[in-house]
Structure 1
Amino acid sequence: MKRPVLAIFVACLLMFAGQASAQAYLRVVSWNMLHAGWSGQQDWNGYARQIWNNYGSAAGAANGVDLVFGQEVMYAESAASVASALTAVSGFTWDYRVTEAIGRSSYKERYAVFFRTDRVQLLSSTVWTDTGDKFEREPQIVKVRHIQTGADYTFINWHTVFGTTAERQAEIQQIASVFNAIQNGSSSDQDVILVGDHNREATSPWWTTLTAVSPAVSWRVNELTSINASCAFASRYDHFWMQNNHVTEYSTSGRDYIADMCAFRNGLSDHAPIYISFYSTADTD
């Protein structure tokens, strides 16, 4: 094959490869990992197998996930261990970022984000500056780029205080100010998604300050996710929140599959992971 013809052939292959890779799903999990790192909560391979093998609502769902947001990660070493286990279980390289320990009292937790390095580029991971000390655990703010499509997303990873009823209500009514500030703070990335364990059902009137944000903010996933001592689902605490006008990439969401409720409850967590997927062909912002 002559060189000019070969060059054209190679260029066409690259063009078609680029077109094929530009259509892809970004698969995301949010999970309260129940004191990951404390005694009895160190089954790193168990965490990884749940994340990788049981993504989706059914046993037959396709394996694999790209991005994971963890709450109740107790030590920096816990996050490192989960990332290492994900690499081993999945066969792909995972990286992570973990916050400092956060909390007003001697009891503190960390947030963590885990990501496949071939699918997700981490742009930044910071902790919200909590002026006025409105939150027991100020949220983690994570900006990512989906490598296959170039689509950017900003996630607010938040574990709401349980505390008293009044304390929970006050925090939930304040989260709208964080969402607004993040959404208004960037002209290049309007796709903002609030994730986490929010200790309140999504249909509660407490969320009216968030749902009143313009464009309208609405929830995805309001299934029973917390698990009681009898190994039964109990409360609707874990959600995703987003603006449909901006997050046009939304595809599906739900509660991840759990094969054995008692083994899960006694060995991994008292919350089921929740999942969401986004489909894009390019950055829409």
Structure 2
Amino acid sequence: SCVTILPFCLCSVSTSPYDYEISDLLGRDNYKEMYLFIYRTDVVSVVETYQYEDPEDVFSREPFILRVSAPHSKAEQFVLVPLHSAPRDAVAEIDALYDVYLAIINKWGTDNIMFLGDFNADCAYVQPSDWSAIRLRTSDLFKWLLPDSADTTVGKSDCAYDR
């Protein structure tokens, strides 16, 4: 598939070595997606992967979590957590990332965690009044890197999907 060919294409046009980690197909019903991480092996290495188990079935596409080692960075090990939330369930799915956070601490004993993705976290999907129900936003444990005012889209809309 194109997904597995892409890292090899990168290697053919770059002197840097690449590898990848890919999740299983995730999703409900007939619509499925995969999470794909492509990384430079001379910069980071994957220590362990973890497919979040979602006993409450909150997530349409459960996070596929990577613990990585980056010995030349300030945080020598950290965890990457992607989420592509379902637009209609964005508030509940973003809030449930707090439970993912707790599971990672329990599993790996670290809070060096970065949440990534298309959260569908603006405009019609997450209203300003919804943020008070999202623990990632109300807890002082988390730092949001992008202000709500940042326009991170390339289209005419300024609906941010990444906060």
TM range (shorter): 0.7 to 0.9
- In structure 1, what is the equivalent of residue 38 of structure 2? 114
| Offset from partner CA, 1:108-147 (integer Å, 9 cap, x none) | 0000111111111111122110112111010111100003
Give, in whole Å, the separation in 1 of the partners of 2:49 and 2:153: 27
Q: Does 1:194 align with 2:115?
A: yes
| Offset from partner CA, 1:82-110 (integer Å, 9 cap, x none) | 21222233321100011111001101000
Q: Mark the structure with the bigger radius of gyration.
A: 1
- CA shift for structure 1 position 153: 0.4
Q: 2:8 aligns with which of 77, 81, 84?
A: 84
TM-score by length of 2: 0.82
- CA shift for structure 1 position 170: 2.0
Secondary structure in structure 2 of the residue aligned to 1:193: strand
* Relative contact order, higher structure (CA 8 A, sep 6+): 1
Give, in whole Å, the separation in 1 of the partners of 2:52 and 2:129: 25
Aligned CA distance change for structure 1 residues 195 and 169 (closer, same or farther; 3 Å): same
Aligned CA distance change for structure 1 residues 172 and 190 (closer, same or farther; 3 Å): closer
Q: 1:170 aligns with which of 92, 104, 107?
A: 92
Q: In structure 2, give the amino acid aligned to 1:210.
A: L
Q: In structure 2, give the amino acid aligned to 1:198.
A: F
Secondary structure in structure 1 of the residue aligned to 2:108: coil
**Percent identity (aligned):** 26
Query: Is residue 70–residue 76 contact of structure 2 (8 Å, CA) maintained in 1?
Result: yes
Secondary structure in structure 2 of the residue aligned to 1:219: coil
Aligned CA distance change for structure 1 residues 89 and 123 (closer, same or farther; 3 Å): same
- In structure 1, what is the equivalent of residue 60 of structure 2? 136
Instruction: Could you tell me which runs of 5 or more consecutive residues in structure 1 were left unpaired when the two chains were aligned.
Output: 1-76, 240-285
Give, in whole Å, the separation in 2 of the partners of 1:146 and 1:204: 36
Give, in whole Å, the separation in 1 of the partners of 2:51 and 2:96: 16
Q: Does 1:211 align with 2:137?
A: yes
Give, in whole Å, the separation in 2 of the partners of 1:154 and 1:224: 26
- CA shift for structure 1 position 203: 8.6
1 or 2, which has the higher strand percentage?
1
Query: Is residue 224–residue 237 contact of structure 1 (8 Å, CA) maintained in 2?
Result: no
Give, in whole Å, the separation in 2 of the partners of 1:206 and 1:155: 25
Give, in whole Å, the separation in 1 of the partners of 2:127 and 2:19: 35
Give, in whole Å, the separation in 2 of the partners of 1:147 and 1:84: 24
TM-score by length of 1: 0.49
Aligned CA distance change for structure 1 residues 205 and 172 (closer, same or farther; 3 Å): farther
Aligned CA distance change for structure 1 residues 143 and 185 (closer, same or farther; 3 Å): same
Q: In structure 2, give the amino acid aligned to 1:200.
A: A
Q: May I ask how many residue pairs the two structures share in their alignment?
A: 155
- In structure 2, what is the equivalent of residue 123 of structure 1? 47
Secondary structure in structure 2 of the residue aligned to 1:220: coil
Secondary structure in structure 2 of the residue aligned to 1:218: coil
Query: Is residue 200–residue 236 contact of structure 1 (8 Å, CA) maintained in 2?
Result: yes
| Offset from partner CA, 1:25-69 (integer Å, 9 cap, x none) | xxxxxxxxxxxxxxxxxxxxxxxxxxxxxxxxxxxxxxxxxxxxx
Give, in whole Å, the separation in 2 of the partners of 1:204 and 1:175: 18
